[in-house]
Amino acid sequence: MKNERRNDLDWLRVLVFALLILYHVGMFFVPWDWHLKNNVIYPWLKWPMLFVNQWRLPILFLISGMGTYYALGRRSWGKFSRERLARLGLPLIVGMLFIVPPQVYFERLDQGRYSGSYAQFYSMAFDGIYPQGNLSWHHLWFLPYLLLFSLLLSPILVGIAQRPGRFTRGIKGMLQKPGNLYLFTVPLYLTEVFVEPHFPVTHALIGDWFTLVFNGLIFFMGFMLIASGPIFWEGLEKIRKKALAIGLFTFSGLLVIWLGFQDSAPVHYVEGMFKVVNLWSWILVLLGYGAKYLNRPSKALAYANRAVYPFYILHQTITVALAYAVKDLPWGLWPKALVLVLGTFGLGWAIYDLLILRIPWLHPHFGLKPRRKLAT
């Protein structure tokens, strides 16, 4: 196995996490439930957010599966598991202890459930499980799910990584026809229509079966597609334009369903098909065009790829704090959105570049590898 990361995957990871910041800013303004809400809601904003929402998390899990293939290298099961615990488990604990509590504090202030200082609130920040209590992982829910997938699947993943040809022969044969990439939507469709109705998304891990199964499948698919080698990338080159057309068609179909039909069993099955084909199409589009235009190194990528994990950990706390400060101001959408976007990126960069990077003992607490190990 060649342990060579692809620059396009790193760029996509950076860009999708940057999009996550914009998405969370948008959550402040749309009718959907979120930690804080603006004094004026803009219902039209939900439509572009619905488009992004179809594929933004699936592609992160897929890229994480792909990155896991490169991270394994020649590592044993034990070494890989210890590294995953350090890179995912430690930042999760640090985040729950120090990064997430301010978000809950501002929520409680907004709800009128608390009125004291943050120093006073912190003594009760771990009383009970959110939302009734205060202990939560909030936006960091991605980390325990990814950690669980990595640990549960690691014995299988290690075997595949060490002998990819033995395990990917069937996939390579299937991908002789690039259109067969869409066969990966079959297990996703079955999960969407038969599991999702019974297990609504909670991000609580325990009992969140749809999220676990659906994203676990996508994580494993990412791993297997990378393990299949060049034939996957050759197939993307041939199918990306068709995937773009299919993505436009299926999202248009979803809009028709959402705007014109009431929820019913037949519509559910059709909607499920459009959902999985739509999200898979946009994943293929992003991977395909990323492979064509982004697969080249740069100093900007090296910096951003190292910064993206700390930014992810920090960003929502900054956004929520700024949102609390501006929520009742008589400003319009764009001035407030600009404050939240620029403030989140600016303060996130300042904390990362001026504090975290300059204090080496903080690095593992925010998921940073030592510089000498960046290529491993």
Residue closest to 23 by CA, chosen among 51, 4, 3: 51
User: What is the rounded average pLDDT for all residues in the chain?
Assistant: 94
DSSP string, 55-117: THHHHHHHHHHHHHHHHHTT--HHHHHHHHIIIIIHHHHHIIIIISHHHHHHHHHHHTS--S-
Residue closest to 343 by CA, chosen among 359, 328, 325: 325
The answer to whether position 348 is within a domain reads yes
Q: Is 127 exposed, middle or buried (0-12, 13-18, 19+ CB in 10 A)?
A: exposed
Sign of CA dihedral 265, 209, 95, 73: negative
Cα distances (Å, whole numbers) of residue 74 to 160, 287, 376: 11, 26, 10
pTM reported for the whole predicted model: 0.95
For position 71, what pLDDT does the model report?
A: 87
Mean local confidence (pLDDT), 136-140:
98
Q: Is 361 left (phi over 0), alpha (psi -120 to 50) or beta?
A: alpha
Q: Is the pLDDT of residue 57 over 60?
A: yes
The answer to whether position 280 is within a domain reads no
Q: What residue numbers bound the domain in which 355 lies?
A: 7-170+219-242+294-373
DSSP string, 105-124: HHHHHHHTS--S-HHHHHTT
Residue closest to 149 by CA, chosen among 76, 56, 213: 213
* Side chain identity, residue 72: L
For position 263, what pLDDT does the model report?
A: 67
The answer to whether position 210 is within a domain reads no
R_g (Cα) of the chain, nearest Å: 21
Residues 6+ apart with CB under 8 A from 341: 21, 22, 25
The answer to whether position 177 is within a domain reads no
* Side chain identity, residue 357: L
Number of domains into which the chain is organized: 1
The answer to whether position 33 is within a domain reads yes
The answer to whether position 58 is within a domain reads yes
The encoded tokens of residue 238 equal 């041939």
Task: Give percent above pLDDT 70 in the chain.
Answer: 96
The answer to whether position 148 is within a domain reads yes
Report DSSP state, residue 331: -
* Side chain identity, residue 286: L
Report DSSP state, residue 40: S
Instruction: Report residue 110 CA to chain centroid gap.
Output: 27
Mean local confidence (pLDDT), 82-104:
97
The answer to whether position 322 is within a domain reads yes
Task: Give the whole-angstrom CA distance, residue 352 versus residue 235.
Answer: 38
**pLDDT tier, 372 (very low <50, low <70, confident <90, very high otherwise):** low
Mean local confidence (pLDDT), 172-194:
96
pLDDT one-digit tens code per residue, 204-250: 999 999 999 999 999 999 999 999 999 999 999 999 999 999 999 99
Low-confidence winner among 31-35, 265-269, 314-318, 370-374 (lowest mean pLDDT): 370-374
Low-confidence winner among 6-15, 75-84, 142-151, 271-280 (lowest mean pLDDT): 75-84
